[in-house]
């Protein structure tokens, strides 16, 4: 098969012909129909993820068609179109037994701990546990745009923060996951404030439902616009500044959801814990979403309440994926880029 291979961190990906993946007895091999390019891929390419062993094939936001299933797989068959969370479960550890596969102790991640979807084929583990069947009405490109950014934003707002109609939601960072959060929160009946330094991204957030955009004096502006602070705030970028602003812009008993990865020089953040205690704030970590929550998200997509396809800004070829990953470091993307091999 053809694949974009990483031989050293920070160096261009190499288009190569490599061996087809082997199907595990309880796994599946999927022909990649579409796969997103995510800032998490950039973090991996930069060497910020210690789990990656070289040579490596990145890519984790995928939709594909099953071409082979293992003898132990009963719920899926060749020809099924599927997607998968970026963190797959082992099915054995305590979190998996409780249905929380996104925090599996074995941390099986296509594109990180195992080879991923910047290729024609990808092998996926524990098919019956981890695969999600894609509805017929959903295109492969739209299905790829669901994860990890859209489904993580869905988990942040609905699974963790429990957003409610009429609440104020502040979204810090309007890249792919931030714009998804704007769309999802708006659909839930919340009033959304978008935060970014790029006026083009703020304009896009307004198109998706944000009632205001903020680019400076962030905390003061949020407190003023909301008459006291946001009920829910999401750091969708992952930096010391956006995390601190997200927490500091909350009203009493507000909920902060950390979605953006805090790695490398941004790994250690000074959280104002006195404010957290005094205001009884909640700090919520979000690591993707378990398979069991996909049904509610897909029903919302089917109803038209949320439209992940509108977040797709462009599609590219597999040959162009290396340049696209490299450009993630400058936050050049507006919306979601999807590779169509």
CATH number at residue 98: 3.90.180.10
Task: Assess whether 32 and 74 both reside in one domain.
Answer: yes
First-to-last C-alpha distance (Å) of the chain:
11
DSSP letter, residue 108: B
Predicted confidence at residue 267, as pLDDT, reads 83
Closest by CA to 63, choosing from 293, 287, 294, 328, is: 294
pTM: 0.94
Domain that holds residue 18: 2-144+307-339
- Give the C-alpha separation, 41 to 62, whole Å: 13
Q: How many helices (H) and strands (E) does the chain have?
A: 12, 15
The bridge status of strand 121-124 relative to strand 81-83 is unpaired
pLDDT at 264: 84
The answer to whether position 325 is within a domain reads yes
Are 184 and 206 members of one domain? Answer: yes
What DSSP letter does each residue of 109-177 carry, written as one string? -BTTTB--SSBSEEEESSHHHH-EEPPTTS-HHHHHTIIIIIHHHHIIIIIIS---TT-EEEEE--SHH
Residue 196 confidence (pLDDT): 97
Are 180 and 279 in the same domain? yes
Question: 321 in a domain, yes or no?
Answer: yes
Domain tally, the chain: 2
What 3-state class would DSSP assign to 178?
A: helix
Cβ atoms of 144 and 34 within 8 Å: the answer is yes
Looking at the domain assignment, is residue 23 inside a domain?
Answer: yes
**Which CATH number covers residue 241?**
3.40.50.720
Answer yes or no: do 214 and 231 share one domain: yes
3-state secondary structure of 211: coil
Q: Counting Cβ atoms within 10 Å, is residue 303 exposed (0-12), middle (13-18) or buried (19+)?
A: exposed
pLDDT of residue 155: 98
165 in a domain, yes or no?
A: yes
d(CA 207, CA 215): 16
DSSP-derived letter for residue 24 is P
pLDDT at position 107 is 87
The pLDDT score that the predictor gives to residue 333 is 72
What's the pLDDT at 25? 98
Judge contact between 249 and 230, C-beta under 8 A: yes
3-class DSSP state of 314: strand
Q: What is the mean pLDDT of each run of 10 residues along the chain (341 residues)?
A: 98 97 98 95 93 97 98 98 96 96 94 98 98 96 92 98 98 96 98 97 97 98 98 96 97 97 85 94 97 96 96 95 90 85 89
Write down the pLDDT at residue 266. 83
The verdict on residue 290 lying in a domain is: no
């Amino acid at each position: 098969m053809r694949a974009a291979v990483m031989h050293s961190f920070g160096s261009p990906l190499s288009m190569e012909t490599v061996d087809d993946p082997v199907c595990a007895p309880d796994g599946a091999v999927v022909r990649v129909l579409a796969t997103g390019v995510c800032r998490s891929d950039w973090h991996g390419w930069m060497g910020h993820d210690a789990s990656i062993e070289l040579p490596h094939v990145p890519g984790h936001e995928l939709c594909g068609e099953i071409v082979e299933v293992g003898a132990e797989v009963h719920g899926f068959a060749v020809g099924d179109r599927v997607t998968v969370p970026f963190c797959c479960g082992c099915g054995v550890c305590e979190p998996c037994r409780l249905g929380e596969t996104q925090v599996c102790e074995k941390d099986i991640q296509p594109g990180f701990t195992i080879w991923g979807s910047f290729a024609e084929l990808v092998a996926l583990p524990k098919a019956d546990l981890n695969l999600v069947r894609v509805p017929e009405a959903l295109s492969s490109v739209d299905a790829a745009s669901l994860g990890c950014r859209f489904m993580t934003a869905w988990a942040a707002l609905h699974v963790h923060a429990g957003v409610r109609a009429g609440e104020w939601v502040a979204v810090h960072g309007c890249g792919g996951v931030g714009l998804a959060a704007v769309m999802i929160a708006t659909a839930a009946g919340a009033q959304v404030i978008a935060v970014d330094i790029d006026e083009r991204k703020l304009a896009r957030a307004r198109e998706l439902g944000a009632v205001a955009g903020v680019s400076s004096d962030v905390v003061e502006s949020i407190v003023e616009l909301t008459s006291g602070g946001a009920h829910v705030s999401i750091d969708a970028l992952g930096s010391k500044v956006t995390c601190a602003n997200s927490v500091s812009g909350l009203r009493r008993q507000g909920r902060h959801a950390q979605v953006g990865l805090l790695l490398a020089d941004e790994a250690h953040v000074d959280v104002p814990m006195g404010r957290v205690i005094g205001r009884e704030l909640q700090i919520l970590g979000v690591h993707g979403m378990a398979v069991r929550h996909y049904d509610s998200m897909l029903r919302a997509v089917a109803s038209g309440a949320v439209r992940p396809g509108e977040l797709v800004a462009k599609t590219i070829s597999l040959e162009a994926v290396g340049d696209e990953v490299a450009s993630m470091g400058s936050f050049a993307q507006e919306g979601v880029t999807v590779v169509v091999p």
